Amino acid sequence: MRDRDSKATARLAELKESPAYLATTQPVVMEVLQGVHSAAVGRVERVFDGLVRLDVDPQLDFHQAAHLYRAVRESGHTVRSSIDTLIAAVALRRGAVLVHRDRDYDRIATVAPKLRTEPLLDS
């Protein structure tokens, strides 16, 4: 949200205008809000309030996230944040495309072929 000229900002603007819906999940909200300056919290919360929320299902998603974490580790890599595996688990269950700027999702996708990702990492 800070990088006004980044690839991610441009793609977010496109998604807002597209007929497909833009959604988030609680762990994404948490990650973003913990990194926002206090003065911007209200503005960021309003952005999230306007999005569809894909809720975490504790009965399914925590177990799937743990499975994904183990699978990535067994493939010889490490996911830096287990929150990323929880976000991926929600996206998998809901069939959502996970738009991201985090290389961990590329690692997760190698062990979860049904996870659809769209990386927005600037070159």
84 in a labelled binding site: yes
pTM: 0.85
Report CA 52 to chain centroid distance, whole Å: 13
User: Is residue 101 assigned to a domain?
Assistant: yes
Closest CA to 11 of 100, 75, 77: 100
pLDDT of residue 97: 93
Q: Would the annotation count 49 as a binding residue?
A: no
Question: How many domains in the chain?
Answer: 1
Q: Which residues are within 8 A (CB) of 93 and not within 5 positions of it... i.e. 6 or more apart?
A: 57, 60, 61, 64
The pLDDT of residue 6 is 73
User: Taking a C-beta distance cutoff of 8 angstroms, is the pair 86, 56 a contact?
Assistant: yes
Instruction: Please report which residue ranges of 4-102 form alpha helices under DSSP H.
Output: 7-17, 26-34, 41-49, 61-74, 82-94
3-class DSSP state of 98:
strand
Q: How far is CA 60 from the centre of its chain?
A: 17
* 46 within some domain: yes
Q: What average pLDDT does the chain have?
A: 89
- Of 13 and 56, the structure prediction assigns the larger pLDDT to 56
Residue 2 falls inside a structural domain: no
Indicate whether 104 belongs to any domain. Answer: yes
Residue span of the structural domain in which 22 resides: 7-119
CA distance 99 to 97: 6
Tell whether 27 is covered by a domain. Answer: yes
- Asked if pLDDT for residue 4 goes beyond 60, the answer is no
The answer to whether residue 1 is domain-embedded is no
How many Cα atoms are found within 13 Å in the side-chain-facing hemisphere of 68? Answer: 32
Task: Tell me the CATH number at 53.
Answer: 3.40.50.1010
